[in-house]
């Protein structure tokens, strides 16, 4: 049963299409190389309990499916997004639409700028930063950080290793802008204050809060990233129980995952609100 489900994801994975955040749109088309899927072994998958529903398994958790062909997903209407082709889980989308309507009544216009991203898509983002075809803070990291571990840690400030992104799950969205400065004043501040006060009423939590004693590890703060917790909590728990650094493979720089402790520090390095 489980094997059959994974097989169907595998056959769809090469077709993956999803919306792209503005900052990566310039380079994400350039990588046309075929993707070598690195899936958990049959033994690893077989040991997994079913969590919440049949479609949750390690292949799903790691983004090895095409949201455009997954029965639990739907395309996001353009009125809610800044581009065509964004996909979300249907349950997360319904909750988002309610939140969007409530925000609008308070004069706050929420806009999805990134939603579901497949393993393949995340690999394009990661490798562009890894090999220098996309600059990070104005630098070609392949030249300025020749040490693989240092380079991976730099990319990990804001980008996930393929297979470890919450954006694989269909529960997570980036809203309005991808810069902290946008949310510090004017419309951005109003949006952030509204979300901070009300998002939880619709099931959304913010996983990447400010770093500090409460959240010592993981990505830097992201005021734009929100997560549909009623579903994401099951996937977070599945990651805690079954995702291991050794499974993080299939892209340039993946060998650093184990030394960095990507699962513990990054996948599980989220706010308390998103762990409950
Ligand atoms: Zn995000």
The tens digit of pLDDT for each residue in 161-206 reads 999 999 999 999 999 999 999 999 999 999 999 999 999 999 999 9
Distance from C-alpha of 187 to C-alpha of 201, rounded to nearest angstrom: 21
The tens digit of pLDDT for each residue in 46-79 reads 444 444 455 789 999 999 999 999 999 999 999 9
Residue 140 Cα to ligand 1 middle (Å): 22
Residue written as token pair 């249907």? 90
Residue 46 Cα to ligand 1 middle (Å): 30
Residue 114 Cα to ligand 1 middle (Å): 7
Distance from C-alpha of 6 to C-alpha of 18, rounded to nearest angstrom: 20
Domains and CATH numbers, the chain: 2-274 (3.30.1380.10)
Residue 65 Cα to ligand 1 middle (Å): 18
Element spanning 73, H or E: strand 73-75
Residue 174 Cα to ligand 1 middle (Å): 5
Residue 1 Cα to ligand 1 middle (Å): 32
Residue 170 Cα to ligand 1 middle (Å): 11
pLDDT at 276: 81
Nearest to 57 by CA among 102, 94, 8: 8
pLDDT at 195: 98
Say if CB 115 and CB 87 are below 8 A apart: yes
Nearest to 119 by CA among 207, 31, 202: 31
Residue 250 Cα to ligand 1 middle (Å): 21
The tens digit of pLDDT for each residue in 101-129 reads 999 999 999 999 999 999 999 999 999 99
Residue written as token pair 């993080």? 248
Residue 43 Cα to ligand 1 middle (Å): 31
The tens digit of pLDDT for each residue in 231-266 reads 999 999 999 999 999 999 999 999 999 999 999 999
Residue 197 Cα to ligand 1 middle (Å): 20
- From residue 105, alpha-carbon distances to 109, 118, 126, 266 in Å are 9, 33, 38, 35
Average pLDDT, the chain: 86
Structure token pair of residue 87: 């996909």
Residue 144 Cα to ligand 1 middle (Å): 26
Structure token pair of residue 106: 């308070």
Name the pTM for this structure.
0.83
């Amino acid at each position: 049963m489980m094997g059959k489900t994974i097989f169907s994801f595998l056959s769809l994975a090469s077709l993956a299409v999803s919306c792209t955040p503005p900052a990566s749109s310039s380079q994400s088309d350039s990588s046309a190389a075929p993707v070598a899927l690195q899936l958990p072994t049959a033994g690893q998958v077989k040991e997994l309990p079913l969590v919440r529903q049949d479609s949750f398994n390690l292949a799903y958790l790691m983004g090895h499916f095409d949201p455009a062909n997954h029965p639990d997903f739907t395309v996001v209407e353009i009125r809610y997004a800044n581009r065509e082709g964004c996909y979300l889980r249907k349950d997360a989308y319904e909750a988002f639409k309610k939140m969007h309507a409530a925000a609008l009544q308070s004069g706050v216009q929420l806009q999805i700028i990134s939603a579901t991203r497949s393993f393949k898509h995340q690999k394009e983002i990661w490798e562009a930063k890894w090999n220098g075809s996309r600059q990070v803070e104005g630098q070609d990291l392949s030249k300025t950080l020749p040490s693989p571990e240092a380079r991976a840690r730099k990319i990990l400030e804001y980008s996930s290793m393929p297979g470890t992104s919450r954006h694989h799950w269909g529960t997570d969205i980036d809203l309005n802008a991808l810069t902290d400065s946008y949310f510090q004043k004017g419309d951005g501040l109003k949006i952030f204050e509204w979300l901070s006060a009300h998002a939880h009423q619709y099931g959304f939590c913010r996983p990447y809060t400010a770093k500090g004693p409460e959240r010592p590890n993981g990505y830097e703060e992201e005021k734009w990233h929100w997560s549909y917790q009623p579903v994401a909590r099951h996937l977070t728990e599945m990651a805690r129980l079954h995702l291991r650094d050794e499974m993080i493979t299939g892209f340039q720089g993946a060998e650093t995952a184990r030394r960095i402790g990507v699962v513990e520090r990054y996948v599980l390095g989220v706010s308390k609100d998103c762990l409950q």
